[in-house]
Structure 1
Amino acid sequence: MKNEFIENELWYLSISGAFQRNNVYEENIDDKNGNKKDAFKKQLRACIVDITQRYHVFVSDVEHVGHISALIASNKDEILNRGKLTFGTAQKLLNLYLKYMWCTDRLAHIPPHCPIDSIILKNSKQYKYKSWTQLDCEDEYMRYITDLREQASGKNLHLAEWELGVFNRRAEKKII
């Protein structure tokens, strides 16, 4: 029961982080009771959980980007803005979920990437003031990953470890 509770919370944190302040849903959708959104989120979670099973072994950059693309392709829906998730939203959702699974020892290997969002983008030399929510190009995403990975390796850290440090410093400043 405790494990199910924690995994539900990890999912909630992931989807909230990826969807908040983000125009994920089409405007004026007919979903007064929320059934369409709930059904979509249930399908999306099943897809994320299935993909996560593949991370109990090492996953390359190419495989990881493929998983992000597969997440987009298998979760098209009329309730979504433009009928699909942006690459930016999909990468944040998957990367956040993997981060939380790893941080709670539910993932054997460190995630290959970190969640890319406005806080992390401000640390990239490649940042062009485009919102992460609008990121819709694998090449642009990988330019950020490469740049941020260089910064992490300069501190002898894996990218996922480096990102934890960035968020911890941010939290310390706000004294949470």
Structure 2
Amino acid sequence: MIQKYQDDFMHEECWILSFAGGFQRAKVYQGEVSEAKRAQFREDLRTYVEKDILPAYQQKVSEEQHLKNIESVAAYAIQNFASILNNEKLNIGIAQKLLNPQLKYLWCRGKVITPPHFPVDRIIQEKLKMNPIINWTSMQTLAEYSQVIEHAKRVAAKMPDCCIDGEVSLALWELISFQRK
């Protein structure tokens, strides 16, 4: 009984953190959008991700499928909420910054298997020594996002502790590398 309340609490907290991380520094909404419309957008987007995206991560998801899932999050937002979104879209950088942290939290809680990627932001690009750093809030395409991922693969391949079942894990690399101090 207590475990259910603990799980529900952690589930809510992880979504709060995911939305804060994805939306806090990004100009997601057009001008004066009411809090009610923002809340409806977040609720519907969360429901979409929980029902249509996250169940796949109970099994290994290929990188190709993960990229499609990021695109799908952005497409869902555009199809259903373009009228409240800045420039009538949710860009790839923001979509990945919503999905990837949620996957990280679920993975760390033992709810999904290791995700293919990690949350891409300025801090992690600095750890990767990216040059130039790509502004994640402005990433429009999967190609921009993939530049960071490909660079991370080269860095992670040099760290022997970053393997799971004989494969380099970007999620594990980020977990090891990103420790709050």
The DSSP-based 3-state class of the residue aligned with 2:84 is coil
Listed as ranges, the matches of 1:1-176 within 5 Å are: 1-29=5-33, 31=34, 34-50=35-51, 51-76=53-78, 77=81, 78-107=83-112, 109-124=113-128, 126-156=130-160, 157=162, 158-168=169-179, 171-172=180-181
- What secondary structure is seen at the aligned counterpart in 2 of 1:25? coil
Counterpart of 2:166 in structure 1 is: none
TM (normalized to structure 2)?
0.87
Are 2:58 and 2:111, in contact at CA under 8 Å, matched by a contact in 1?
no
State the Cα RMSD in Å: 1.3
Give the CA deviation at 1:100: 0.3
Where does structure 1 differ by over 3 angstroms across 4 or more consecutive aligned residues? 123-127
1:89-113 CA distance string (max 9 Å, x none): 0011100000000001111x10100
Residue ranges of structure 2 left out of the alignment (5+ in a row)? 163-168
Number of corresponding residues: 166
Counterpart Cα distance in 1 of 2:120 and 2:147: 12
Displacement of 1:4: 1.4
Say which SS state the counterpart of residue 31 (structure 2) adopts: coil
Q: Percent identity?
A: 36
What's the TM-score once normalised by structure 1's chain length?
A: 0.89
Q: Does the residue aligned with 1:161 lie in a helix, a strand or coil?
A: helix
Unaligned runs of 5+ in 1: none
The 2-side partners of 1:74 and 1:21 are apart by: 21
d(CA) in 2 for partners of 1:127, 1:9: 33
